[in-house]
Amino acid sequence: MVKHVLVSIFIVLQAGLSGSGSTQNTLTQVYSANSWQIPFGEPHKLMRHYLQPTSDYSAGHRGVDYSVQIGDEVRAPADGVILFQRHLVDRDVITVAHASGITSEFEPACGLLPSGSSVRRGQPIGSVCSPDSGYSWHCQTETCLHFSVRLNGKYLSPLAFIGGLNPSRLLPYARG
């Protein structure tokens, strides 16, 4: 599993999403800085996968959605610092800054800790809360929590960090 996660992260970093600095150094920092986990104490059903957009402004799904109940506890997926936690537009959002330019974000989630608080992997940071009436749920038939990850501002699949991302496979190329 770890080998597949590292391969996935390495491929993304090789694609130029690491920002400034050496790709290999960033990969080493990402892997050695923290181990990651799902943002819950117990497993939740994954409802919607990450869908890479073709550009910064095109359609896609820049995170994953888990089936939840209002009041479910949200935990830090890795060590970090609460960067942001407040009501934004039509829902509450929690953003955690991690090592090496990585941030994770959860919505709709009401924070327990003030911005600037240090958190450890698995520590409760908030709970799933009700958004405003105009909020458009990511899951059509169930209440869900949206979980996203960015590396230097570029979205990546959270599954590359917590596991569950299938490795890329090269297909044979027929010349001719």
Which amino acid makes up residue 113?
L
Over residues 143-155, the mean pLDDT reads: 93
The pLDDT tens digits of the residues spanning 72-99 come to: 999 999 999 999 999 999 999 999 999 9
| Confidence class for position 166, pLDDT limits 50, 70, 90 | low
| Confidence class for position 134, pLDDT limits 50, 70, 90 | confident
Which amino acid makes up residue 130?
S
Over residues 43-59, the mean pLDDT reads: 82
Domain positions in the chain:
2-162
Q: How many residues does the chain have?
A: 176
Q: How far apart are CA 63 and CA 169, in angstroms?
A: 22
Domain at 2-162, CATH class? mainly beta
What is the side-by-side order of every strand in the sheet holding 124-128?
73-75, 124-128, 109-111
pLDDT at position 8 is 37
